[in-house]
Amino acid sequence: MSKEEGKQILQKDKKDVPPRLHIRYIIVVMCCVANAFNFFTRTNWSIVILSMKHAFDWDMKTQQAILGAIYYGYSVTPMIGGWLVGKYGGFPVLLSTVAVSSLIALLSPLAARCGIGLLISSRIIDGFGQGMVYASTIGIIAKWSKLNELSTFVSITTSGYSVGAIASSYVSSLLTTSTFLGGWPSTFYIIGIAGIIWCLCWWIVGSSDVTNNRWISEFEKESITTSRPIAQDTEVYNIRWKKLAISAPVWSICIYCIGDDFGLYLLGTDMPIFFKTILHFDIEMSGFLSCIAQITFFLTTIFGGIIADKLIYQTKIKKIHVRHFFACFCLGLQSILLILIGYISYDWIAAILMIIAFGLYGVCTSTICANALDIAPNHSALVIGIAFTFSGVTGFIGPAVVGAITEIDNTLIQWRSVFWIAAGVQAAGLLQFLVFGSAEIQEWAKSADNSTETSSLIENSSRCKDRSK
């Protein structure tokens, strides 16, 4: 099909006629699915390892080493991914990383049978690719969203994590306890094939920005480019590294991400284990409760972004105050709940509080992920990449802490220490963000035409508020 034929089928190619199908909605859904795939491959392990440990006779320390291995690679590449997105665009980076991860998923059962060394190595390699996925989607959203859709689009994209985890909690639990393709190996085959299908769809529909998309109408392209202060042809890889390195708002995002991800990765990885070994639920119930927690995460992510956009563009509340409010609601309340869980001996009450605590992480999307686009719209993928490079380290530190504390005696008392550590790290991240966080475009992040772009930002922001009144 030719480019012209494609436009005739999907769009009315006139600047003054709305299209029948808004391509940016398809793009944001595709980015959401990419993150869903990314997180499915991670949370899948938290379920299937409960069966694999018996098949391969793995102790608790070995299990934690396998679960945390992916983060050795994941912690290295987000910043590299952000830079690659700036230089080459989000489309090729996202396509290649999902393709590699799909192949590794298909080969994971074979790697497990060959030995623990090969399995851990494949997990590390998978982490290298997965570390670039989120930065790619943020870079794409920065080019595809209107100004007053920013928090909403970021939230929808990020909600893919909970979608993937929900699917994993249900599908992995179901397949692991079945005889289909040997039980637990079938989970890897399913996600591998799904990833390849996504790659084919992205190859057809996707693009890094509105200027290179074959399906977008002139009307939609015009509405996006006039709304956003970002120049589509900006040399985003021409970066003022020195000023970026000493930028307090950038470091504030990085430290906040460390606090947020320490708790998120810890619960996301070990929540099913806590449900089974401490609260004494069986595998199916543990998977069901994990699924409910991810649904809660999904809802807070979506509605958090929508509410944030409404507060910013339909009220007189300053953007930074909105970001601060959501930061407190997330890490502040969540830290309190974690501490309480360590002192509650009633299984169902502890489970409910754990679900609420995990769900609150979704609110962070409206804070930190959108904040990267606030302070550096042209460099948002790089800022998120830098932040995730630092916070990705917590992905293997968290499971290592759990393994070290619970290795000898796996009881609620040991988990109480784990929750206190997580709450302390999160509180530190929250407090510094309240002090150093910003919602203003930073000087180092502005292009050569910074004065024009800043004026455009103020004008478009005011226009969005006026329209909503």
| Separation between Cα atoms, residue 195 and residue 98, nearest integer Å | 7
Of 275 and 199, more confident: 199
Question: What are the tens digits of pLDDT across the range 240-254?
Answer: 888 888 999 999 999
Select from 134, 418, 158, 390 the least CA-distant residue to 266.
418
pLDDT at 1 over 50: no
Of 99 and 270, more confident: 99
pLDDT at 293 over 90: no
Of 100 and 276, more confident: 100
pLDDT at position 230 is 47
Question: What are the tens digits of pLDDT across the range 354-379?
Answer: 999 998 888 877 677 788 888 888 78
pTM: 0.75
Question: What are the tens digits of pLDDT across the range 439-467?
Answer: 888 888 776 544 444 444 444 444 444 44
Evaluate the CA torsion angle 29, 31, 36, 37 in order and state its sign. positive
Q: How far is CA 119 from the centre of its chain?
A: 24
| Separation between Cα atoms, residue 258 and residue 246, nearest integer Å | 18
pLDDT at position 19 is 66
Answer for the pair 279, 350: CB distance below 8 angstroms, yes or no: yes
Question: What are the tens digits of pLDDT across the range 86-127?
Answer: 888 889 999 999 999 999 999 999 998 998 899 999 999 998
pLDDT at position 224 is 81
Rounded CA Rg of the chain = 22
pLDDT at position 178 is 82
pLDDT at 329 over 90: no
Of 39 and 30, more confident: 30
pLDDT at 267 over 90: no
H-run or E-run covering 249: helix 248-277
| Separation between Cα atoms, residue 463 and residue 457, nearest integer Å | 10
In the structure, what pLDDT confidence band is assigned to residue 426 with cuts at 50, 70 and 90? very high
Mean of pLDDT values over 413-422? 88
pLDDT at position 4 is 47
pLDDT at 20 over 50: yes
